[in-house]
Amino acid sequence: MSESVSIARGRCECGAVAFEIDGPLRDVVACHCTQCRRTSGHYSAYTSACIAHVRFVTDEGLVWYRSSSTAERGFCGRCGSNVFWRPLREPERISIAAGSLEGDTGLTLSQHIFVADRGDYYTVPADEPQRLGW
């Protein structure tokens, strides 16, 4: 997986959660796990950054939900946008919903994970990198 150095900006739909990232972003990973599908309505696409490189412009709408014994999901309590995911075992990193980033990111989709959990209504292209789990 490659990382690109950028100053990126992102936000939820209503703007009650807005942030800037001043550091490298990991390429996007598409997660097909059951939790991501439930919280997004389909599979989720996340990039990742070092938490020290993330600065909140506003977090007045940010709500954290502990979705499992190993992870939390950050969403806007006002508009409902899924914005973040973070593993509890790796507190120095935060995953950021790729769709929440503004403008051209220069990122690419690097792989699909948890493809064994994907919904039965779609397929993952066989020529794209895949993992059954993490």
pLDDT at residue 4 tops 80:
no
pLDDT tens digits for 85-127? 999 998 899 999 999 999 999 999 999 999 999 999 999 999 8
pLDDT at 7: 82
Contact 64, 73 (CB under 8 A): yes
Q: For the chain, list the domains and their CATH numbers.
A: 3-117 (2.170.150.70)
pLDDT tens digits for 46-91? 999 999 999 999 999 999 999 999 999 999 999 999 999 999 998 8
pLDDT at 90: 87
Q: Between the CA of residue 43 and those of 34, 47, 53, 105, 106, what are the distances in Å?
A: 8, 14, 26, 20, 21
Contact 88, 70 (CB under 8 A): yes
Please name every residue paired with 93 in a beta bridge, in sequence order, or none if there are none. 50
pTM for the whole thing?
Answer: 0.89
pLDDT at 2: 53
At 6, the pLDDT band (50, 70, 90 cuts) reads: low
Contact 95, 58 (CB under 8 A): no
Q: Rg of the chain's alpha carbons, rounded to an integer?
A: 14
Q: What is the mean pLDDT of residues 26-46?
A: 94
pLDDT at 133: 75
